[in-house]
Chains A and B, each alone.
Chain A
Amino acid sequence: MNLGTRKILDRSFTAVGFGSIAVMGIALLIVLVPIITNGIGSVFFTGTIEHRNMLFNEFGRGNREELAKENAASEVYRKQIYGMLSAFEAELETMDSEKKQDYLSKYGPVKTALQTLIGPLPGEAEAILTRYKYGQTRWGKAEEKLHEFLYETRWDNSNPDAMAKEYFVSQATEFEGTSLVKLFPFVEEHLEDVLRPRFTVYWGFLTDSSVDSHIFGGIWPEIQGTFFLAVGAMLFAFPLGVIAAIYFTEYAREGFFNSILRSANSTLAGVPSIVFGLFGLAFFINTLKVSESKSVLAGSLTLAIMILPTIIRAAEEAILSVPKTYKEASLSLGSTKWNTIMTVILPAALPGIITGGVISLGRAAGETAPIIFTAAVSVGSAIGLADVFSSPTPALSWNIYNLASEHEAAAEIRHVQYGMVLALVSIVLMLNLSAILLRARISKKLKG
């Protein structure tokens, strides 16, 4: 091959390599940017007076006097809105029944939309679900709802060959000629005075329990559950894995039995996680009966089985990478094999073992499938440490799926979903980062 061709080949390979890395980087950016921006929005956002009222009533947070003052200021405008409603209702009574019926059917949705926007209207029975006790707590969402209040969405089906088109009809035109027509521009103009949006930092998102299945409140039970499950899995898997790795590297004799064990370990590492989930249900809950039904214990055990092969492999690699000369030196000083392993080999292999462990911890924290049948519930409060043996727990990974796909008001709580994703990504990222730092520290200590 001549020099020219070689150079071209080299360059094109460099270009391809750079290109693939760039594609990966862009993909990461596309995934991460919305997660981060939207996720941060669950803590930092423009909150309304409804948010502050909700915090005060449900969590007992906030200043009573200030809130009363604010509510009084808001009430000034609310009163006018309520006044318009009762004026229209009085007007309805004067209409003939056909017209009245017609307006009533249009008036119902308007009232519902208004209620969604600014909270319960006077004279209504108190709502049972907390979500109906408050208006929009987030200003961004309130602006969306304002649009729904002002305009009726209709679909244009005139062209059968094309998809139906959405178009909006102003509600004001629907109520042309009645007293209610004033309501729409008034609400549009004074919504800020009613809801009083203000920049809000809600750290409670990370430390509060949720209220009314994640419509309000935070994700603490999920964070705690994830922590319990992952740490529990490590408690089982880490010691077992390291012991197994020591056996494989230092004690096992090469042979048929050993090679079977090794390939079993590799196979286990490749089993889909949902299979572990079913195994956990069948074995830990149904057969061993470690708990009545789903529990943190059962989930941890299932996760432990899942991450065990990875830990064994990582620990094995780490132990094998310890220079043989350390072992020779220790043995030649009259050390026993066990002592050599404990005082020389394991300390030297520690960075690698810990890295493997923490990466597995991150994996355990992020896995969904193994805990569906063994530990996770959709909504629940934070459990105490004593309950881990008997009670299930919400967990980030499972609830991200659950809130995004199964929740009855999934579209209303996008910020919670993003917040959970960001929390999970941050936890895993932090675990990996701490592994890197820990590894660097120990390696530095070993190198002197």
Chain B
Amino acid sequence: MHMTADAREVSQTASGAAATRDIYLPSERKKISGGGTPHVVAKDFSIYYGEFEAVKKVNADILSKYVTAIIGPSGCGKSTYLRAINRMNDLIPSCHTTGALLFDGEDIYGKFTDEVLLRKKIGMVFQKPNPFPKSIFDNIAYGPRLHGINDRKQLAEIVERSLRKAALWDEVSDRLDKNALGLSGGQQQRLCVARTLAVEPEILLLDEPTSALDPKATAKIEDLIQELRGSYTIMIVTHNMQQASRVSDYTMFFYEGVLVEYAPTAQLFTNPKDRMTEDYITGRFS
């Protein structure tokens, strides 16, 4: 379901005023055929930084092809949880996990799991747009080239397809050979989405993808998420509850490393089961 520009404006105005948290909720979101099977399954899954338990015994199924938002105050472990799914936390030497995190039934942290293959299937877009200092074309083609596609024609097709999916094609089709760092922040972030899509992942992890962008660019990314919904399993970490309510089908609320509540978005925002969730979404704390 597409929201109208008016609705977004209303909600953004609302986000300015902390006192009245008018939350826009799509009255009904389309069911996705072939979706809804457990894609990423956490079983008593904990993440530690050294001794510190950043994420505590999470049990949750992320459903395929739907958009799941993760909200919660700063330092609640939501980004840590997201980055655990494609093992980006491996970059932090002190980080380790207990319990199980399954992707298509296989343990992400299993002894024989190839994290490189895993990351190909689980793409990620980061908080700050991070295109490589290469041309737009080379940015998109980077992933496919890594995975063995070197035919120029085939690459060109992939680049066009990915850029179209990321709604960037019309803006950059005439300057694919220009350096990607010359794009605006919003364009760069959509380029990053396109770059991730180019390796044809199954899951798209978005780690606060709009926190560095202006409202206009944010709107474009949100539209893009709507476009991609149904084709990919999408998980988005966000600080912006309006954004979570606008783009997601399901929402997880983390607080101090604990998954407090996980429910369909409409339900979580209108009728939260937990007191903590209610306090957070009504702005009693943040």
- Of B13-21, B29-37, B112-120, which binds chain A? B112-120
Chain A residues within an 8 Å CB radius of B119 = 331-335
CB distance from B197 to the nearest CB of A (A): 11
Chain B residues within an 8 Å CB radius of A333 = 119-120, 123, 142-143, 146, 195-196, 199
- Of A21-29, A241-249, A320-328, which binds chain B? A320-328
With A334-B119, A334-B146, A344-B132 in contact, do A448 and B182 touch (Cβ < 8 Å)? yes
- Of B85-93, B98-106, B266-274, which binds chain A? B85-93
Contact A334 B180 (CB under 8 A): no
Chain A residues within an 8 Å CB radius of B116 = 334-336
The answer to whether the Cβ of A7 comes within 8 Å of any Cβ in the partner chain is no
Bound Cα distance A317, B152 (Å): 35
Bound Cα distance A445, B180 (Å): 11
Chain A interface residue count, CB cutoff 8 Å, equals 24
Contact B117 A448 (CB under 8 A): no
Contact B91 A331 (CB under 8 A): yes
Contact B126 A331 (CB under 8 A): no
Bound Cα distance A333, B147 (Å): 10
Contact B143 A334 (CB under 8 A): yes
Contact A334 B199 (CB under 8 A): yes
Main secondary structure of the interface of A (DSSP, over half): helix
Chain A residues within an 8 Å CB radius of B147 = 334
Bound Cα distance A331, B132 (Å): 12
CB distance from A360 to the nearest CB of B (A): 25
The answer to whether the Cβ of B283 comes within 8 Å of any Cβ in the partner chain is no
Closest to B125 in A: A332
- From 297 to 341 in chain A, residues with beta carbon under 8 angstroms from any chain B beta carbon are 323, 325-336, 339
With A332-B88, A334-B143 in contact, do A323 and B130 touch (Cβ < 8 Å)? yes
The answer to whether the Cβ of B133 comes within 8 Å of any Cβ in the partner chain is yes
Chain A residues within an 8 Å CB radius of B132 = 326, 329-330, 344, 348
Among A323, A335, A347, A448, the residue within 8 A (CB) of B146 is A335
Contact B195 A326 (CB under 8 A): no
CB distance from A448 to the nearest CB of B (A): 2
Place the interface of chain B in its size category: 20 to 34
The answer to whether the Cβ of B282 comes within 8 Å of any Cβ in the partner chain is no
Among B93, B130, B146, B195, the residue within 8 A (CB) of A339 is B146
The answer to whether the Cβ of B128 comes within 8 Å of any Cβ in the partner chain is yes
The answer to whether the Cβ of B59 comes within 8 Å of any Cβ in the partner chain is no
Contact B93 A253 (CB under 8 A): yes
Contact A446 B133 (CB under 8 A): yes
- From 118 to 139 in chain B, residues with beta carbon under 8 angstroms from any chain A beta carbon are 118-121, 123-124, 126, 128, 130-133
Bound Cα distance A336, B147 (Å): 10
CB distance from A343 to the nearest CB of B (A): 7
Contact B126 A328 (CB under 8 A): yes
Chain A residues within an 8 Å CB radius of B142 = 330, 333, 335, 343
CB distance from A353 to the nearest CB of B (A): 15
CB distance from B190 to the nearest CB of A (A): 14
Bound Cα distance A327, B126 (Å): 12
Bound Cα distance A334, B86 (Å): 10
Chain B residues within an 8 Å CB radius of A326 = 130, 132-133
Bound Cα distance A240, B27 (Å): 64
With A325-B128, A329-B192, A333-B146 in contact, do A448 and B199 touch (Cβ < 8 Å)? no
Chain A residues within an 8 Å CB radius of B124 = 328, 332
CB distance from A329 to the nearest CB of B (A): 5
Bound Cα distance A241, B180 (Å): 31
CB distance from B92 to the nearest CB of A (A): 11
CB distance from A255 to the nearest CB of B (A): 11
With A325-B126, A333-B142, A335-B146 in contact, do A348 and B133 touch (Cβ < 8 Å)? yes
CB distance from B53 to the nearest CB of A (A): 23
Chain A residues within an 8 Å CB radius of B180 = 448
Chain A residues within an 8 Å CB radius of B217 = none
Chain B residues within an 8 Å CB radius of A331 = 88, 91, 119
The answer to whether the Cβ of B181 comes within 8 Å of any Cβ in the partner chain is yes
Task: Name which of A325, A329, A344, A446 has the most chain B CB atoms within 10 A of its CB.
Answer: A329
5 CB-based A-B contacts, threshold 8 Å = A328-B126, A328-B130, A332-B119, A335-B143, A339-B146
Q: Which 8 A-B pairs have the closest CB atoms?
A: A448-B179, A334-B120, A325-B130, A446-B133, A332-B124, A333-B143, A448-B182, A448-B181
Partner-A contacts on B (CB < 8 A): 86, 88, 91, 93, 116-121, 123-124, 126, 128, 130-133, 142-143, 146-147, 178-182, 192, 195-196, 199
Partner-B contacts on A (CB < 8 A): 253-254, 323, 325-336, 339, 343-344, 347-348, 445-448
